Structure 1
Amino acid sequence: MADGQGPESAEAASRTGASAAGTAGERTSPASTVQIVDHALLVLKTIAEADRPRGVRELSRDLEISKSSTQRILASLERVGLAVMDENSRKYVIGPAALTLAWRHAANSDLVSAASEATARIAAATGETACVSAVVDGRRVTVYEVESSQPLRLITGVGRPYSLFSGATGRVLLSMLPEAQLEHLVREHASTVGATVATEIADRVTAARERGYAFSRGEWITGGCGVAVPIATQGTVTAALSIYGPEARLADRRMAELVPTLRAAAAQIAIRWRQPA
């Protein structure tokens, strides 16, 4: 994909944004949480991940929150700049105040601090876009990225969620998860793609775990390639290092040659990440 687009073509963001069971009209919250806060965060997360503006009625329907509550939540989010309503369509998108949250997260992230120098070095050495990605809510999210300086390049976009079930980075991240969590995610995915496809994916994840790396070619967009290696898992955060580029520059032999370089950089990131601040 040319400069300015998502990585190897972005998968449509989740239209429900939720997996917890709920009842008609209002979603049930655990006793230890505040329901209106849960609902507000759910609405915010859903419009942030959406690939198009979302309206009150569809958010209410998809999230199983009453229309009146959804409207009040959106009005509150809009008031603090976390949501913006288009005057013509009357639908909502994520607001500019979310940039502050993202910037503060990046500034305070131990993983980003540990990875920034090595990732920049990888991008310079390979001439391709280098990324650090993590598993967030069952999806792959780029937390740090250094773009290639080449005129034709692939970029992911920091903060954008993508499926774990396509691409080298997704497979490496899945290969690092605890077996129970991996099986749960595969079962969920199987309900959408079928058991046969899910089994094939599970086999490829096993191969990535055994090899300690994964390649992808044309899985997101024709002509797009990627190489990924694991970094480490700290607490609940599982991270991987990868590069993306067009197949004209990333033939199989070239990707294989880059694996040792990526592994060395990932090891350096892991060491720095484990060091106390």
Structure 2
Amino acid sequence: MKGTGATPSGESLGTVARVVALLRLLAESKNDLTLTALSERMGLAPSTIHRLMSLLIQEGLVGRDESTKTYYCAAEFVRISSLVLGASRVSDLAGPILQSLADQFDESSMLCLYLEQQRQYTIAKSAHGTQLLRYDIQENKPLSLLWGASARSILAFLPQAHIDEVIAREVSRDEDAAGILADLAATRERGYAFTKGQRVEGSIGLGAPFFNAGGKVVGSVCLTIPRNRFDDAREKNMGAALKANAERLSHMLGYFPKQG
């Protein structure tokens, strides 16, 4: 199939071609199509669309907004697209925010995305200040949700069942699990995660979550700083800046929390 803008007849499409056509349709429609709309645009039965979308959701390529009943390209699709193209809708939106944070604090900033099906996350994009001493940031690699501010700023805002699943999979001692749960509670209270040397020895990490239109956590905006360059007095200022910029990104994605 060539990207001519026309959708081929459903009868002429094999399963692989149907999946490609669905992903293309979602990407080009700004992620606002319901099952009925997809069925009409594709010329396929709703039951066929539902089966294909269920497979894509299982693989983390597509998500469903329960409030609007619409489908969207999810984080794993964004991660794969980023590997191929070096760009994505979220990372494009986040680019100026990351650079602003890097310029404001003269440190490295990161965009992290939640990989829902794997219960992991990945660093999708980064920006740097002028400091020559900084950490080597590996982008588009699946990472544990347990260690570091980049991870815990996402984990803390997941449903409790997902949190318990991650902890049960990676933590063996009850006292360690209790400490993690206490830190996650403190993260929710502050609105941002703050860690010292958890993922990378000698590093300071701060991260704040951002959300999609349905109120689900999509990822986090983070700062990483060498410990010998960090002043504890800057924590609250950095945390406030991360929260404000993560809120900006959430608004760009259509999330506006209920007041009161």
TM-score range, shorter chain: 0.5 to 0.7
Residues in 2 aligned to 1:195 and 1:234: alpha-carbon distance in whole angstroms: 36
Matched, 1:218 2:190: no
Alignment correspondent of 2:152: 171
The one-character-per-residue Cα deviations of 1:12-59 (angstroms, maximum 9, x if unpaired) are xxxxxxxxxxxxxxxxxxxx79xxxxxxx9xxxxxxxxxxxxxxxxxx
Number of corresponding residues: 179
Contact kept? 2:158, 2:217, Cα under 8 Å: no
Over 3 Å counting, the alpha-carbon distance change for 1:175 and 1:130 in structure 2 is same
Contact residue 229 and residue 241 of structure 1 kept, 8 A: yes
2 CA distance for matches of 1:144 and 1:273? Answer: 17
1:244 to 215, 224, 231: 224
Bigger relative contact order (CA 8 A; separation at least 6): 1
Q: Where in structure 2 are there 5+ consecutive unaligned residues? A: 1-50, 53-58, 60-78, 256-260
DSSP-derived class of the 1:123 partner: helix
TM-score by length of 1: 0.58
The equivalent of 1:257 in structure 2 is 237
Q: Does 1:128 align with 2:107?
A: yes
Whole-Å separation in 2 of the counterparts to 1:196 and 1:104: 42
CA shift, 1:227, in A, is 0.9
Q: Which deviations, in whole Å up to 9, do the C-alpha atoms of 1:104-155 show, x marking residues without a partner? A: 4642x22112211111111111111100112212112111111232110124
Identical aligned residues as a percent: 23
Q: Does 1:157 align with 2:138?
A: yes
Q: Match of 2:113, SS?
A: strand
1:227 to 198, 206, 209: 206
What is the correspondence of 1:36-185 to structure 2 with a 5 Å cutoff?
101-104=81-84, 106-107=86-87, 109-136=88-115, 137-185=118-166
Q: In structure 1, how many angstroms separate the alpha carbons of the residues matched to 2:218 and 2:81?
A: 21
Could you tell me the TM-score, scaled by structure 2's length?
A: 0.61
Q: CA deviation at 1:100?
A: 8.4
- Label 1:263 to 1:111 Cα distance change in 2 as closer, same or farther (>3 A): same
Amino acid at match of 1:211: R
What is the CA-CA distance between 1:101 and the residue it aligns to?
A: 4.5
Distance (whole Å) between structure 2 residues aligned to residue 138 and residue 115 of structure 1: 22
